[in-house]
Amino acid sequence: MPVVVRTSADLAALRSGGTVALVPTMGALHDGHVQLMKHARALADTLVASIFVNPTQFAPGEDFDAYPRTMDADLERCDEAGVDVVLAPDVETVYPAGPGATVTVDPGPLGQVLEGERRPTHFRGVLTVVAKLFGLVRPDVAVFGEKDYQQLVLIRQMASELHLGVQVEGCPIVREADGLAMSSRNVYLGPEERQRAAVLSRALSAGVAAAPDGVEAVLTAARAVLDADGVAPDYLTLTDSDLGAPVPGQEARLLVAARVGTPRLLDNVGLVPHPVDPHPLENRPAGEGA
């Protein structure tokens, strides 16, 4: 089993040189987390996983108190993935001045769109706790899942712009057999909701299939699948890989967020929307008919 530590001093006592990889989590670990850890295992000499349910990324009325906490099962998952050290700090270690009085990281304009528009304080809390974990662990590389794609982009931006010296790696989404993206919040889904939740991945697949027909076709195809199942998304959007405007012929990201019953689910997929020829007949060889 991995060694469990609570403080930076405990971590320092375990350091023996070599490179360090970090996988930050809030616990309630599933197969997706295990894949993140196994990916990180190959990147460094020592693998640290953190388990900390971060209060500052939950707005009032969100599920901080109800968020699943399963430490014993989580440690078994960490052991399965080859984790050397689990950092499980208390709130006072992460926020010595208290969560309400701490220095914070402003996510900037990119933190105000998509998830940030609906959860205005969320990314400030995420970036703040990740910066603190980077300071506690001092990793060479940190691995995050692509399911929370906006989060991944913002953490990369923070690490680069604040010169934190951490390489931030993304790991592909791990899915259930029916395509549903694995998430700790999936435990909130009732049987009927669980069946309906797979519509998000079906919508993304429809968008990917429509990519040869251009940007608008991607969105139209994905939206049609959601509409047919009666799911109204909080957002369904196509961006470039850095969450800017998509460019035909270049890597893009199709993102969706929607409530299926009570749980709010996120999903996304990478694709390349093809440029659409505005004058297809004009470019055909002479003598080629319609």
Tens-level pLDDT at each residue, the chain (290 residues): 999 999 988 988 887 789 999 999 999 999 999 999 999 999 999 999 999 999 999 988 898 998 999 999 999 999 999 999 999 999 999 999 999 999 999 999 999 999 999 999 999 999 999 999 999 999 999 999 999 999 999 999 999 999 999 999 999 999 999 999 999 999 999 999 999 999 999 999 999 999 999 999 999 999 999 999 999 999 999 999 999 999 999 999 999 999 998 889 999 999 999 997 655 555 444 444 43
d(CA 84, CA 32): 18
User: What CATH topology corresponds to 3-171?
Assistant: Rossmann fold (3.40.50)
Cβ atoms of 207 and 269 closer than 8 Å: yes
Residues contacting 154, CB < 8 A, separation 6+:
107, 110, 111, 123, 126, 127
Residue 175 carries which DSSP code? B
Residues contacting 213, CB < 8 A, separation 6+:
274, 276
d(CA 56, CA 82): 29
HSE at residue 163, side-chain half, CA atoms within 13 A, is: 0
**Amino acid in position 80:** E
Return the biggest CA–CA distance within the chain.
78
Model pTM?
A: 0.92
Sign, CA torsion 6/28/70/49: negative
The residues spanned by each domain of the chain are 3-171, 184-271
Backbone angles phi, psi at 258, to 5 degrees: -160, 155
So what's the pLDDT on residue 287? 43
The secondary structure element, H or E, covering residue 193 is: helix 191-197
Beta bridge partners of 237: 255
Backbone angles phi, psi at 130, to 5 degrees: -65, -40
Cβ atoms of 166 and 23 closer than 8 Å: no
User: What CATH topology corresponds to 184-271?
Assistant: Pantoate--beta-alanine Ligase; Chain: A,domain 2 (3.30.1300)
So what's the pLDDT on residue 240? 98
So what's the pLDDT on residue 11? 87
Cβ atoms of 249 and 274 closer than 8 Å: yes
Q: Which residues are catalytic?
A: 33
Q: Compute CA 236 distance to the chain's CA centroid, rounded to the nearest angstrom.
A: 16
